[in-house]
A = this chain, B = another copy of it.
Amino acid sequence: MNAALSEPATVRLSLDEVYALTRDTLLAAGLGEPHAAAIARSITRAQADECHSHGLYRLLGYVASVRSGKAEREALPVLTRTTPVILNVDARHAFAPLAIETGVPALIEAAKTYGIAALAIHDCYHFSALWADIEPAVEAGLAAWCFTVGQCCVAPAGGTTPLMGTNPIAFGWPGPEGRPFIFDFATSAAARGEVELKRRAGEALPAGWAVGPDGTPTTDPAAALAGALLPFGGHKGSALALMVELIAGPLIGDLNSRQAKAVENGDSGPPLGGELFIAIDPAAFGRETLGQRMSDAEETFALAKAQPGVRLPSERRYAARARSAGGVLIPARLLQEIRALTTTGAEPGRNGGG
């Protein structure tokens, strides 16, 4: 066996090690401790659920945006209330996780008190998974949504020019035993990262994902990235993508995807923008009937799962979460890249600083 073959393809880390590696790497890059800790919590949760795109892989982009000076390093989020049920967190051009941790407990309290509430996160660099953003509210017993504007690369159905972001939607319904039903998907046919992975792997795209720069349908990932992705589900998915472009942009007073692209510095980190949360307390529609209503919902889930071929959105993540108590497998190459960040890029403010 030669040296190359004996190198491990993956390395097992405990969740504590994932957390410490993330936090320490961000601190070494010059990020303030409250932000480094919040991002470490976010990345550790995604990695535990084997949501690899939002796990340790994201650390590369976070560090890039610390170094490029895009994200504020020390600015702490500020929570204000316009009304008892309209909450705003000004993230002050810093990363989103600390702002979300600041706003979501207030959202939960407002929704539990008044039945419905909305929370807008403003001027943040958002790089986390929406399912994780709403999970605390859903675990607290609320039905909740969140929406954010993604990278501008999606044409409306029938069109050929990027107008909208990948614009994900997440919804959660409180479930028994801390296992709520949560879905989270891009309103584009595929996330931009999926297309990039196909390009690196030299694979063709499924039909219907994209058009090339000439506006004709393409299965070539490079042509798709130079052209436009398409919404999922034809004109219906396109309408939903446009809805997110509106409600996570001008509704709350944050950038739409074209505006975010215009101010983007191309450092491979997250774009600037906002995020809208809405939460409703099922108890507001009758506390005495709540148990029966939750049981009715569970019956629907059980009947879905009883059909061969049907899987509920969160099931794969919960299975991964159970496995991850014993540690998670990280690609050795990714770990090398992350460790190289600390040895080569520890100087805060290398590219100008925040």
Residues of A with Cβ closer than 8 Å to B?
82-86, 88, 113-118, 120, 143, 155-161, 163-164, 171, 173, 181, 183, 185, 187, 232-237, 239-240, 242-243, 245-247, 249-253, 256, 258-259, 278, 280, 282, 284-286, 289, 293-294, 296-297, 300, 303-304, 307-311, 313
- Could you tell me the distance between the alpha carbons of A171 and B187 in the complex, rounded to whole angstroms? 15
Q: Are A250 and B310 in contact (CB under 8 A)?
A: no
- Could you tell me the distance between the alpha carbons of A302 and B337 in the complex, rounded to whole angstroms? 44
Q: Are B115 and A159 in contact (CB under 8 A)?
A: no
In the complex, the count of this chain's copies comes to: 2
- Could you tell me the distance between the alpha carbons of A115 and B118 in the complex, rounded to whole angstroms? 9
Q: Are B157 and A116 in contact (CB under 8 A)?
A: no
Q: B158, B185, B236, B310: which contacts A232 (Cβ < 8 A)?
A: B236
- Could you tell me the distance between the alpha carbons of A313 and B84 in the complex, rounded to whole angstroms? 34
Q: Are B118 and A280 in contact (CB under 8 A)?
A: yes
Q: Are A250 and B294 in contact (CB under 8 A)?
A: yes
Q: Are B114 and A83 in contact (CB under 8 A)?
A: yes
Contact residues in B for A294 (Cβ distance below 8 Å) = 250
Q: Are A284 and B86 in contact (CB under 8 A)?
A: yes
- Could you tell me the distance between the alpha carbons of A108 and B339 in the complex, rounded to whole angstroms? 55
**A155 and chain B: residue at smallest CB distance:** B307
* Complex A-B, nearest 9 residue pairs according to Cβ-Cβ distance, in ascending order: A233-B233, A159-B307, A86-B115, A158-B309, A250-B293, A183-B239, A159-B310, A250-B296, A158-B310
In the complex, besides A116-B278, A250-B297, A278-B278, 5 extra interface pairs with C-beta distance below 8 angstroms are A82-B115, A143-B247, A158-B307, A159-B310, A181-B242
13 contacts between A and B (CB under 8 A): A83-B115, A84-B114, A85-B85, A86-B114, A86-B284, A116-B278, A143-B247, A161-B307, A163-B300, A232-B236, A242-B300, A253-B285, A253-B286
Contact residues in B for A86 (Cβ distance below 8 Å) = 114-116, 284-285
Contact residues in B for A252 (Cβ distance below 8 Å) = 285
- Could you tell me the distance between the alpha carbons of A249 and B301 in the complex, rounded to whole angstroms? 13
Contact residues in B for A232 (Cβ distance below 8 Å) = 233-234, 236-237
Q: Are B304 and A156 in contact (CB under 8 A)?
A: yes
Contact residues in B for A310 (Cβ distance below 8 Å) = 156-159
